[in-house]
Structure 1
């Protein structure tokens, strides 16, 4: 029971930290405005690690690689700690177990990225009904634009009804079910 509680705390704390690093990375990658409460909160939460990491790892192609690397390293630490808490015998296992942990970390970063865009699409859709002029609307618009724009071009809007959020959510969830879940199960079988 104590192990389960510790796993929950690890998943929650390190998962939220990974999500914050990814959100900062994607907000910067999509040129979202940083003068809104969402962006300011993400910067405040992640500055403790991003600022020192930027000194060591430069940006690449105008992408903040240090922030993305921090998201990956957080997931790597999470996967290692979860296996350690479960009593996995690292001293007896070969070096291939570390490749599995790296693979799980990459998979979880991709899955968290998908979740982040899903949350942003749902939040944008809900806010468009309730308060379309909220201060975080421009950041959500910038964040979801790379996904929503191609869908809007391919699928017409019948009578002005925008079906692109529904299509994006269904596609993302299908990818999580058909791609990410089987990959994770395959990787977990290697332990």
Structure 2
């Protein structure tokens, strides 16, 4: 593979992954019923609206599950993988089903990583800026709260110390490492096809 193709793969994966992140955030915002009047939410809505508008006519939402955003995320990941394979000199024609499975695994891995990093940001903000009214801080809190709620119901109340993020981190890592990454390895997924694996 030539240096030009490697550079192209890097640029395409970086830009494509950034847009994929925005699309998946749109899915998550509806899933956790985040405030859509938040300036960051408005940016995400505007950035995804052109592609999602026609898809919503065909793929309806299922309760709080924005299925059109989820399908769009998988399609974007699939296209990124096909482009990378073509630039590497492979024809993806006979591998479309396998690529679809890899795309679903990569999107699931990114989904978990969004919650992982949102939790890290939430924990840091709880130390340095508790109760912040910053739009980004509020959005992170809205993403984390529904995920932390089941752990808070199970864990004992330790006064001012909230240990639920520790168990949430463990759950995310266990699912990512021992389910998603293992499935990707067992299906022969090359790591270059997704930067999130």
Change (3 A) 1:159 1:90: closer
SS in 2 for 1:10: helix
> C-alpha distance in 2, partners of 1:87/1:69?
27
Q: 5+ unaligned residues in a row in structure 1: which ranges?
A: none
Q: What residue is the counterpart of 1:114 in the other structure?
A: 112
114-123 vs 2-11, which deviates more?
2-11
**After TM superposition, which residue ranges in structure 1, 4 or more long, deviate above 3 angstroms?**
none
Q: What residue is the counterpart of 1:40 in the other structure?
A: 42
Deviation per residue, 1:40-62 (Å, 9 max, x gap): 22112212212222233222234
Q: Work out the number of aligned pairs and report it.
A: 186
Alignment of 1:21-60 (within 5 A): 21-60=23-62
SS in 1 for 2:135: coil
Q: 5+ unaligned residues in a row in structure 2: which ranges?
A: 191-197
Question: Among residues 97, 100, 118, which one is paired with 2:98 in the alignment?
Answer: 100
Task: Give RMSD over aligned pairs.
Answer: 2.0
TM-score normalized with structure 1 length: 0.87
Contact 2:27–2:66 at 8 Å: present in 1 too?
A: yes
